[in-house]
Amino acid sequence: MPSPAQRSPTTGLLLGLIITLAAVVAYSFYIRVQLSGLRKLQSEMVDRNRKDSLQLLRVQNDLNSIGLAMRDMLDASAPYPLTAWTAQFERIREDLDVALHLEEPLAGANRTPEQRKYLSQSVAQFWDAVGRMFALAAEGKEAEAREQIRLTLQARQESLSTAVSRLLVQNNEGEEEAAGRIAQIYDGVQRQLYLFLGAMLITIVLTSLYLIRTNRIIFARLAALSEHRSELAQKLISTQESTLRHISRELHDEFGQVLTAIGSLLGRAGSHLPEGSKVREEVQEVREIAQSTLENIRSLSQALHPVLLEEAGLESTLDWYIPTVERQAGITVHYEKSGVAFPLDGAASVHVYRVLQEALNNVSRHSGAKEVWVRLKFLPDALELEVEDHGKGIVPEKNSRGIGLVAMRERAELIGGTLEFLQPAEGGTMVRLRIERQKVETHGG
């Protein structure tokens, strides 16, 4: 089971994401419910109350018109008989009936059954009394009809007006109550919004802190792995160089001495044979094969680990190595040295030589170029090595993980240098190794 320092942060981040999404969904649902309730409150209560109030005002206006008409009817100086107001009362009654009919479904839950019954009964009783008053007037009993208006109809009209006014006040109170509830909903939504934003901010902060902590652990592990990898690479390269040095010396000393002795023995044996004899020619041929093999072994020994690096340094080794590459690989190498040379540390010389060796191998094997430019620059503060060709070039996705390129980078890091793979204007590849002078210069002599 992985330790807490090695556990992937994916689970924690997914949990944080799920919590955040759940909070967003829950808050969205809450807002939707609140807005739906607000919309219902506005449409069912506020708008209905306003429409109801408009019809009640219409009823109030009709009652006021009836009141004015009855006042005129009681005026003794009026030249018209009471029956002359019959048509006006009929028009007002029709409008009043329409207004009451439209107002009844708008009253809704704001009105009790007793209020509904009282209003309908009061209106019916008022019109019955109006009918009796006009009947008396039609019989010529004007005085009795006016007395009924004064004693009965005006009282009923005032009672109806008072009832309608009370309903209007009740509607206004309902609108104020609805406005208060709407404000309460807005306050609640605003409060919940602040809480939600605060919770989201806390979640983001906690997630960010968790991410920062996890990233620090991951980067610490990467740094440790990089350090271990560097140490392992250094040991591997050191072991490789030690092995190559051992093989090179064995080839040079053991096999070289054996082949030299064989060539010497064959030379002496051939000198004792008759001139022009078949055996002497064969002995001479074998001696030439032994000499050729000796040269190949010495060349292989130098390729594995040039003794010149230890004896004469990097410059002399390159003076020997570059013509050898030209002969073996069949490419033209333009070699340039610039700057004032300074002595190099032995390990640094080996790594610079290996980088050059791998770069030239890549040119001969992969680039397809027939010319290559090698530049060794002794700068005031650094040493630079450039290997440039105008061939196919390096495809990063394909070659960035090649063993040879990885080894070149490792060697550059081991001596504190930087390795770049650039593309010249003419195409191809330029390998540039740059090392600070203080890291490669030897101070022994």
Q: What is the structure's pLDDT at 110? A: 65
Q: In DSSP terms, which residues pair with 54 in a beta bridge? A: none
Q: What is the structure's pLDDT at 264? A: 78
Q: What is the structure's pLDDT at 299? A: 67
Q: What is the structure's pLDDT at 1? A: 46
Report the alpha-carbon distance of residue 259 to residue 204 in Å, rounded: 77
Q: What is the structure's pLDDT at 245? A: 67
The sign one gets for the Cα dihedral 355, 361, 366, 369 is positive
Numbered ranges of CATH 1.20.120 in the chain = 10-212
Backbone dihedral angles phi then psi of residue 307, each to the nearest 5 degrees: -65, -25
| pLDDT at 30 exceeding the cut of 80 | no
| pLDDT at 95 exceeding the cut of 90 | yes
Lowest mean pLDDT among 11-15, 124-128, 316-320, 384-388: 11-15
Numbered ranges of CATH 3.30.565.10 in the chain = 311-440
| pLDDT at 145 exceeding the cut of 80 | yes
pLDDT in tens, 42-93: 666 677 778 888 888 999 999 999 999 888 888 867 678 888 889 999 999 9
CATH number for 10-212: choose from 1.10.405, 1.20.120, 1.10.3470, 1.10.10. Answer: 1.20.120
Q: What is the structure's pLDDT at 98? A: 92
Lowest mean pLDDT among 38-42, 124-128, 426-430: 38-42
State the pLDDT confidence band at 372, using cuts at 50, 70 and 90.
very high
State the pLDDT confidence band at 397, using cuts at 50, 70 and 90.
very low
| pLDDT at 402 exceeding the cut of 70 | no
Q: What is the structure's pLDDT at 445? A: 44
Please give the CATH number for the structural domain made up of 311-440: 3.30.565.10
Q: What is the structure's pLDDT at 399? A: 47
| pLDDT at 5 exceeding the cut of 70 | no
Query: Does 111 or 440 have the greater pLDDT score?
Result: 440
Average pLDDT over residues 302-326: 78
Lowest mean pLDDT among 79-83, 171-175, 440-444: 440-444
Mean pLDDT of the chain: 80
| pLDDT at 441 exceeding the cut of 70 | yes
| pLDDT at 374 exceeding the cut of 90 | yes
